[in-house]
């Protein structure tokens, strides 16, 4: 881990890199990958084996590459890492992110539960291993086989478990609907390599699950058990849940709310909130960098950036009735004001979609990796003149605002609905900075 990471907790380790470090390269170096843990790191020895089983009578399994043995719920299959490496090697470059990424922004609007993650609880890495569907096909399980037997798969879930001891349990587990887990359009991977090197222990070695497009909690590290069941785990609370009602919601929340696919999102990483920036009085510009991620692998088409003077006038908000605390929060009011800016106030950023291997044409039309963006955003004279001076009188207070648009024409949501756990924050990105006019016309 990079010593410069911001540590939110030491035991278990939860940390994230500086935003500027995060977007300094397309692939995230191992030392700059955020650490999200529910317990201490698991160490698996040389005798590691992956156990695959079913608790469903209709789903029987056997190792297809060995002598077929009548399988069933009581007959798990055990595979070594070498067994897995005999299967076709597959790879994907994808974002993995904590569900709480950008939580600190939602917390600024109204208090939420959980670790106060900034916008760096996200990474973009190249993973290699074998597809989950190839592994399950080896033990006789596939969607085609189940449907041919007229089995109803809509209520079946694949559970992924590790012996990591967590705050509230003796193991960590997550699940995916079997239709999603085995969908040929989503490269769900059992990975043993990361960024062209053996997977690091801190990030799940010897084997981890990688689920593109879904909250990182599903991508279980130190994977030891795969179990097919008729129930799911790890639910996400809806926006209307409160500390008093959350238990009732957990008991009735349907699977639809539980999968938690990431929405279209973008984040300004440089400059950071509170930065002081020197600009030319005759040609004021702010250099902006960040990342954007499409929903369900949809490529990013554009990212748009604007600068506006602070403070903004308070406006009526469509959120006022449902959630007045959010509606009148400074962040929401900045976004609301930016949403009414004319098109000429916005600057289109330059996009970096990475190497050809991560291009949509190589990934079945999907782009599971992030898109980095950068721009020199001009600061009009009228914006500087309208901005409130800083306490020392040497600077002006402005806000940078950004949003993304995907290849299907979908625009990033201006405001994410507040939720108690502060997950899936995907509002327009806002960074408040101070601009100082440099002397002699040079920054």
Predicted confidence band of residue 235 (pLDDT cuts 50, 70, 90): low
Taking alpha carbons only, the member of 26, 41, 200, 21 closest to residue 120 is 21
Q: Kindly write down the DSSP assignment for every residue of 309-324, as one continuous string.
A: ESSPPP---TTTTT-H
With cut-offs at 50, 70 and 90, classify the pLDDT of residue 255: very low
- For residue range 310-350, list pLDDT tens digits in order: 999 999 999 999 999 999 999 999 999 999 999 999 999 99
Q: Does domain 23-96+122-245 have CATH number 3.30.420.40?
A: no
Task: Name the nearest CA neighbour of 286 among 307, 302, 266.
Answer: 307
DSSP state of 193: E
* pLDDT class of 361 with cuts at 50, 70, 90: low
Mean of all residue pLDDT scores within the chain: 89
Chain segment 20-77, per-residue pLDDT in tens? 999 999 999 999 999 999 999 999 988 999 999 999 887 877 765 554 334 444 468 9
In which band, very low, low, confident or very high, does the pLDDT at 362 lie, cut at 50, 70 and 90?
low
pLDDT band (50, 70, 90) for residue 390: confident
Domain ranges of the chain: 23-96+122-245, 265-441
DSSP string over 132-160:
HHHHHHHTT--HHHHHHTT---TT-EEEE
Position 251 pLDDT exceeds 80? no
| Residue 404: its H or E element | strand 396-406
Q: Which among 401, 354, 397 has a CA at the least distance from the CA of 375?
A: 401
- What kind of fold does domain 265-441 have according to CATH? Immunoglobulin-like (2.60.40)
């Amino acid at each position: 881990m990079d010593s410069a990471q911001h540590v939110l907790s030491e035991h278990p380790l939860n940390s994230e890199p500086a935003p500027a470090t995060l977007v300094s390269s397309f692939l995230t170096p191992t030392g700059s990958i955020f650490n999200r843990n529910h317990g201490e790191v698991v160490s698996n020895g040389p005798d590691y084996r992956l156990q695959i089983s079913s608790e469903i009578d209709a789903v029987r399994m056997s190792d297809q590459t060995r002598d077929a043995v009548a399988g069933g719920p009581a007959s798990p299959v055990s595979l070594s890492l070498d067994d897995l490496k005999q299967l076709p090697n597959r790879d994907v470059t994808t974002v993995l992110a904590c569900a709480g990424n950008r939580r600190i922004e939602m917390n600024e609007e109204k208090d939420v539960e959980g670790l106060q993650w900034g916008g760096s609880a996200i990474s973009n890495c190249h993973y290699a291993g074998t597809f989950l569907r190839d592994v399950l096909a080896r033990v006789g399980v596939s969607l085609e086989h189940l449907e041919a037997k007229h089995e109803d798969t809509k209520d079946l879930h694949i559970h992924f478990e590790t012996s990591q001891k967590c705050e509230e349990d003796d193991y960590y587990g997550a699940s995916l609907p079997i239709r999603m887990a085995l969908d040929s359009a989503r490269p769900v991977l059992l990975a043993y390599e990361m960024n062209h090197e053996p997977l690091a222990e801190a990030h799940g070695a010897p084997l981890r699950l990688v689920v593109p497009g879904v909250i990182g909690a599903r991508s279980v590290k130190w994977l030891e058990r795969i179990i097919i069941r008729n129930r799911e785990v790890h639910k996400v609370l809806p926006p209307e849940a409160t500390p008093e009602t959350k238990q009732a919601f957990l008991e009735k929340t349907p699977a639809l709310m539980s999968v938690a696919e990431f929405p279209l999102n973008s984040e300004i990483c440089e400059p950071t909130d509170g930065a002081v920036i020197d600009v030319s009085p005759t040609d004021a510009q702010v250099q902006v960098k960040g990342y954007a991620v499409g929903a369900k692998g949809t490529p990013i088409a554009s990212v748009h950036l604007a600068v506006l003077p602070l403070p903004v006038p308070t406006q009526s908000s469509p959120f006022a009735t449902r959630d007045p605390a959010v509606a009148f929060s400074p962040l929401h009011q900045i976004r609301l004001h930016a949403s009414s800016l004319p098109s000429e106030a916005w600057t289109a950023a330059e996009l970096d979609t990475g190497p050809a291997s991560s291009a949509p044409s190589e990934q079945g039309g999907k782009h599971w990796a992030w898109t980095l963006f950068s721009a020199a955003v001009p600061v009009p004279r009228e914006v500087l003149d309208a901005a409130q001076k800083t306490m020392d009188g040497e600077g002006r207070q402005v806000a940078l605002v950004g949003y993304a648009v995907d290849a299907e024409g979908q625009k990033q949501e201006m405001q994410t609905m507040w939720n108690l756990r502060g997950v899936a924050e995907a509002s327009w990105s806002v960074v408040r900075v101070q601009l100082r006019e440099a002397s002699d016309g040079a920054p």
